[in-house]
Amino acid sequence: MSLQNEEMDVVLKIKRYSPEKGYWWQEYKLKVDRFTQFTEALRRIKSEQDPTLAYRASCHMAVCGSCGMKINGEPRLACKTLVMDMAKKYGSNVITIEPMDYFKPVKDLIVDLDEFYQRMYKVKPRLYPHKDVLEGIVEQRLKPEDQRELWKFAQCIWCGLCVSACPVVVIDQQFLGPAAHAKGYRFLADPRDTITEERMKILIDSSWRCTYCYQCFNVCPRDIEPVTAIKKTRAYTRLAKEKTSVTQTGEKHIEAIFNSLLESGKLEEAKVYLSTYGLLGSIKDFIYLFQSGKVKYALVKEKPVENISEIRKILTGDNK
């Protein structure tokens, strides 16, 4: 147990906001030690220097999800981040704190999360067990390995950081967002749940709207990997009875990638594009390529990689 303490003078530059004055930056100087969390730094500013500063914080141990904000541009929980760690990481004792992106500002570091909560409610975030279970007539059991799998995705603390970092929620209203997908998958995959059909209807189309940019994976303070939940939700597509055009395009895209790899061991993007969107769907883009003189890249004929038979064995599961 080697607790090395040290102290440091830092400047916290906080981006403030009020409906009357708009945005402004304000600087606070304070001394921190090796163990000072940003929530504690903010609490000290508020009680010792400037009581007008507004922010949210509650548990200071990363389970309540109140204190999401941007620290030196990184979406983080303030409680789970030590001031000195950020100063060292960026080699500067001047650190910026801003409200989370995407959400409407209310005051200083407080943003309006109503829209975020609406996203969470859309996935029906609760178990719908069998009637007999609910009435206590039969007991339900859960395998330890199922518990572990579900618990990973159930640990979402509704902090909103992943949604604030997601580029798709900004442009696609139909995309439920990473947190809602993690929550949705947690119930979709629960063997005790009875509304699987309805959940697939809610989740599958949306799951194909994710671009796999991994921002949610990077910022989640609970290491939930919402993007993994989205991938796992896509695997349910083959069980879905009705498929939207987004879902169908997604399936075609996967099939095209598979075929491209099977054929050449390479990802032939032009071919994949053509198979996914069809000749008619691609025509506009090809005209654009033609006009910009890039069509030659699209027409490159790839030679199969050397050990293509090995790749085919892996892809088809044929190990004979």
Q: Does 225 bind another protein (CB under 8 A)?
A: no
**40 near another protein (CB under 8 A):** yes
Residues touching another protein, count (CB under 8 A): 65
Least Å distance, CB 302 to another protein, is 44
- Pairing mode of beta strands 94-98, 7-18: parallel
| DSSP 8-state code for residue 138 | S
**Binding mask of the shown chain, residues 93 to 132, with x at each position contacting another protein by CB under 8 A:** -------------xx--x--x---x---x--xxxx-x---
Minimum separation from the CB atom of position 239 to another protein (A): 21
Q: Which residues 140-199 are close enough to bind another protein by CB under 8 A?
A: 140-144, 147, 150-151, 154-155, 157-158, 187, 190, 192-193
Q: How far is the CB of 2 from another protein (least distance, A)?
A: 7
CB of 189 to another protein, least distance (A): 12
User: Taking contact as CB under 8 A, which single stretch among the options 22-30, 51-59, 161-169, 290-298 is the one that binds another protein?
Assistant: 51-59
Query: Which of 8, 11, 30, 54 is close enough to bind another protein by CB under 8 A?
Result: 54
Contact (CB, 8 A) for 117 and 158? yes
Q: Which one, of 113, 183, 107, 112, lies nearest residue 152 by Cα?
A: 183
- Please give the backbone phi and psi of residue 28, each rounded to the nearest 5 degrees, phi first: -130, 130
Instruction: Name the burial class of residue 191, with classes exposed (0-12), middle (13-18) and buried (19+) by CB atoms within 10 angstroms of its CB.
Output: exposed
| 99 closest CA partner among 80, 82, 112, 116 | 112
318 near another protein, rule: CB under 8 A: no
300 binds another protein (CB under 8 A): no
Supply angle C-alpha 111, 78, 1, rounded to 5.
165
CB contact at 8 A, 183 and 153: yes
Rounded distance, CA 233 to CA 181, Å?
Answer: 8
Q: Is 59 in the site for another protein (CB under 8 A)?
A: yes
Compute the least distance from the CB of residue 132 to another protein, in Å.
10
Of 93-101, 136-144, 205-213, 311-319: span binding another protein (CB under 8 A): 136-144
Handedness of CA 153, 154, 155, 158 (dihedral sign): positive
d(Cα 103, Cα 99) in Å, to the nearest integer?
9
The total of other beta-carbon atoms located within 10 Å of residue 92's CB is 13
Q: How far apart are CA 201 and CA 246, in angstroms?
A: 13
**Residue 168 CB, nearest distance to another protein (Å)?**
24
| Of positions 31, 52, 235, 297, contacts another protein by CB under 8 A | 52
Nearer to another protein, 160 or 265 (CB): 160
| Contact predicate 159/190, CB 8 Å | no
Q: Note the helical H segments in 37-82.
A: 38-44
Which residues bind to another protein, rule: CB under 8 A? 1-4, 18-20, 34-35, 37, 39-40, 43, 46-48, 50-52, 54-66, 80, 82, 106-107, 110, 113, 117, 121, 124-127, 129, 133-134, 136, 139-144, 147, 150-151, 154-155, 157-158, 187, 190, 192-193
